[in-house]
Structure 1
Amino acid sequence: LLLRSVGLFTTGLLLGLLLATAALVTVPPVAPPPSPWVPAGSLLGLALLCALLALQWPKALTVLSTGVFGAAAVVVCADYWLEALALVLYVYQRLQLAPAGPLC
């Protein structure tokens, strides 16, 4: 009985991490965050929110989470094939709060 809840929690956690990563990468910062804990806190906060929502609405969030994860996997594979992981390195630099170069 506990295994189902852990799986749903993990699925929601993954959805929250992917959504928070996409939000942190796509939205340009108006001002640099005062601490690296701000992006880390937003990642963890949205991940926990989605994990708890997955426990509340398991079917809808499982479908959404697997769709988002599948789309992310396809994007990473296409990025590897076309641009030798340029997008993945850009996301990694943005999450580290390092000045990221242009994508193209």
Structure 2
Amino acid sequence: MRIQINTDDNIDGVDSLTSRFEAEIAEGLSRFSDQITAVEVHLSDENAGKGGSDDKRCLLEARPTGAAPVAVRHQAATSDEALKGAVQKMQRKLQSELGRRNNAKGSPSIRDMDPL
């Protein structure tokens, strides 16, 4: 799974954030790593450093194999909190999307069962 992190000009300390954020994303989405080809992160400061609460935004886009990209967004007071919230939302979203693809009604299909 390839992870790409993009930031706007208002996010400070990009170099120190990159490796930490990559590790957090890889750990948070590890159970889906064989079903995802890439994850793209977009971090931005909505108020351009002017302050205010919940002004950091994280847009997280995952590209599952053989399916359309899935995206979630989370806003918080810090970049760390925004990423953490987006990873949690992505976990739920992928569980729903990929689970639906694998099991139509929540249990294995009769077509998936081994013949006797």
TM over 0.5: no
Q: Give the structure with the larger helix fraction.
A: 1
Q: TM-score, normalised by structure 1?
A: 0.29
Where relative contact order (Cα < 8 A, 6+ residues apart) is larger, the structure is 1
Of Structure 1 and Structure 2, which has the larger fraction of its residues in strand?
Answer: 2
TM-score normalised by structure 2 residue count: 0.26
